Structure 1
Amino acid sequence: AVSSVDISKDGTRIVSGCGDSTVRIWHTKTGSSIGKPFQGHTKQVQSSVATSPDVKRIISGSSDQTVRIWNAETGTPIGEPLQGHTDSAQSVAFSPDRMRFVSSSHDKTVKIWNAETETSIGEALQGFTSSVESTDFSPD
């Protein structure tokens, strides 16, 4: 089952996160699948896929508590799975400048990541009283 979708900033692709632990890309005009499913998560890709503003990378969060960065053209993972959450990674979003992204989790935290170095920026944002289900960046 599809549990998450994002439309690329150029409007040509739909990215979906699926219950079978894959990420898939679809053509918006034809509805046909583009390439093979991206494989690398070990549990379902919850409600968390996002396409970078330049449409070159995709990020996904999973019930396996990791965030992955993917090459949008080839479907290959970029680097190792990003660790840092202690429960499902629920939501991911790129910054408008594509230099950072955020992930939120059932562990009641939000993490800010450097998209180039694939490392966490500072400590996780805490203080939430329940699961953080959705994240995004302000355009400014």
Structure 2
Amino acid sequence: MPAGVQQASLKSFDKGPFSTFQLSMEKECDWTGIKFSPDGKTILTSTNGSVIRLVDAFQGTALKTFAGHLNNKGIPLEASFSPDSQFIFSGSTDGRVHVWNAETGYKVCVLNADHTGPVQCVQFNPKYMMLASGCTNMAFWLPSLDDM
């Protein structure tokens, strides 16, 4: 094992939490998902409402709130990071995928697909520049070579 790398085992986790923090609950919705960013620095919390939050993974401080996507059905909509942790992707009940800049919190674009219902699943391929979104059908998003 390389110098400076610690090996963790399940036995390491039997002593209870090492650090805890309280996050205030959303007033009009419930948390439905949490994901660590690929760089491990932040946590993305998704809800069954129209709120997605980015939280510091070590302090629990709310960093950004992403809004502007539609969730008028109160269902869990998945949010996901791009592999470089720079962008946040979320489904919407209008069948579109909304994209925000993780650092600024500003919406970058809205992706339109042939989704016939709420986009509840959004995941980035961790190895290749490909995004998949799904409801009753799936859409695969590949960047145009003209954009590179």
1:112 has 2:140 as partner: yes
* Residue 115 of structure 1, CA deviation: 4.7
Cα pair 1:45 1:62 within 8 Å, conserved: no
Identity of aligned residues (%): 30
Moved beyond 4 Å, runs of 4+: none
1:30 aligns with 2:59: yes
- Rg bigger for which structure? 2
Q: Distance in 2 between matches of 1:91 and 1:75?
A: 21
Higher strand share: 1
Over 3 Å counting, the alpha-carbon distance change for 1:6 and 1:115 in structure 2 is: farther
Q: Is the 8 A contact 2:49 2:76 kept in 1?
A: no
CA distance in 1, matches of 2:33, 2:94: 16
Cα shift readout 1:17-61 (whole Å, capped 9, x = no counterpart): 2233122101111112113x1111121572411111111111111
Structure 2 residue aligned with 1:9: 38
Q: Distance in 2 between matches of 1:89 and 1:18?
A: 14
Pick 1 or 2: higher relative contact order, CA cutoff 8 A, min separation 6. 1
Q: How many pairs align?
A: 114
Q: Distance in 1 between matches of 2:129 and 2:75?
A: 23
Task: Say which structure is richer in helix.
Answer: 2
Structure 2's unaligned 5+ residue stretches are 1-29
- State the TM-score, normalizing by the size of structure 1: 0.71
1:79 pairs with 103, 109, 123, which one? 109
Q: Which runs of 5+ in 1 are unaligned?
A: 118-140
Match of 1:92 among 83, 105, 122: 122
- What value does the CA root-mean-square deviation take over the aligned residues? 2.1
**1:36-87 alpha-carbon deviations (Å, 9 max, x no partner):** x111112157241111111111111122322111111111111235342111
